[in-house]
Structure 1
């Protein structure tokens, strides 16, 4: 299991479409509101709840600042949960019917004082760059706390898309590398045809995953004001910034420059 904790800010309304979510994630909006299109309707995500997103989703939303600032934290889980955590999640589901089953029509969870405490502890530990194992410990505590009232088994247990996590992990080693399917297949000790078949079974392809990874990586880099747009394109694996900008705009409906300006 690997954990990624990200922060996203804006000072102006920030509309984005078709943002891919490859791994299960939990999001909290500290300030402002996320107007999220979900199941053909719009729901408001604010500081009173957590947004719990299953893997392999695409999100369309507008991040709307309050008092001049929007801030959201996202905790993403990739890979398989450790067996002892899996057992405890199963046990929590089996022992007590959750009072708030996960609802795919409204993927929000109310924040109890206990959940708020452990969430804040996790975020603070991340900001202080504490040991990764400690962050994982806090994140498992968060899942176990949520499992007391929400059935998370459909999201975090019995996942069949670990091949996607494994491919994305290869990309993370060097986001700017000119990745070829032959390189990744060799690193994963399988043939190209096997890798293509496994990805096809998950309704995706190597090319699509690489494109989504690069563009999402660019979203995070664009939050860093000290990096030039050209440098960000190169860090995402593009020799031409214009090509990066075209693909970014075509995917998200907002150019890299326009996206950056929402936080200036």
Structure 2
């Protein structure tokens, strides 16, 4: 089983998430609407709408633009795995206006406990096609992504991405355009069309600090790469702006409570006091 990630501009990002340790991630920011098919183990999620448990064989539809707590639990063979497709927000919005305008968007997340066989078959075929070579032609990839969104609608689910409301969300979205960039305050302020003083004041009003947002955004991106690729940890560290592997590991542990190696299976069970989600 191989970790892999592929991106299709204007369509979405597909990732094969694999973990060999039961891990809890608190306050994880999700920027895009996602569809996740749990193939091994289970998930426990806490959103502002409550707590959800997603079992093996079930699907999770998740809105973009929200923060949640996530616990990935292992199956009896000590494995968690899921196939995830993050949809381009503009595709979801356009499709919703054209095809499902009367279907109310889900609040934050929805479980599809018994997806139709045709749905799982279509999802698996699309996921494999996204991962394969040569790449799908862009119009075909977009059409097949719309098929997944339409299948969700058949199950009463309509996804959406809330536009960034807070300045901190706007900063996160900006950072994701070039995660390894240094992003000095002057550059961030200029890109958001304000001066540095206003940037810092408005972030302070949200109880946020720019350097913390930058660090958190980088660590969250690193987490996704650790879960969805087999790239060396040193390579991932460099991709998010850290030349020092030890500094990266320490920052990662400070943010999540475990080392990057835990995701690859160097630790079996991790206590999750900050998350509060449990195997139950």
TM-score under structure 2 normalisation?
0.71
Shift in CA distance, 241/10, structure 1 to aligned 2, threshold 3 Å: same
Distance 2:16 2:175 in 1: 21
Q: CA deviation at 1:9?
A: 0.6
Deviations 1:93-133 (A, max 9, x none): 28xxxxxx8465x7312312232233123211211132344
Partner of 1:144: 150
Partner of 2:6: none
Indicate whether 1:255 and 2:235 are aligned: no
Partner of 1:49: 58
Partner of 1:19: 28
Deviations 1:116-167 (A, max 9, x none): 2331232112111323443332222211221233242xx416x322888875
Q: Which of 16, 21, 31 is the matching residue for 2:40?
A: 31
- 5+ residue gaps, structure 1, are 95-100
Q: In the comparison of the two structures, how many residue pairs are matched?
A: 252
CA RMSD of aligned residues (A): 3.7
Q: CA deviation at 1:82?
A: 6.7
Structure with bigger RCO (C-alpha 8 Å, 6+ apart): 2
Determine if contact 2:12/2:85 at 8 Å carries over to the other structure.
Answer: yes
Q: CA deviation at 1:74?
A: 1.7
Please give the secondary structure, in 2, of the residue aligned with 1:67. Answer: coil
Partner of 1:130: 136
Distance 1:165 1:115 in 2: 33
Distance 1:211 1:8 in 2: 22
Please give the secondary structure, in 2, of the residue aligned with 1:73. Answer: strand
Deviations 1:184-214 (A, max 9, x none): 45456x3346777887899866544422321
Distance 1:141 1:168 in 2: 29
Q: CA deviation at 1:237?
A: 0.9
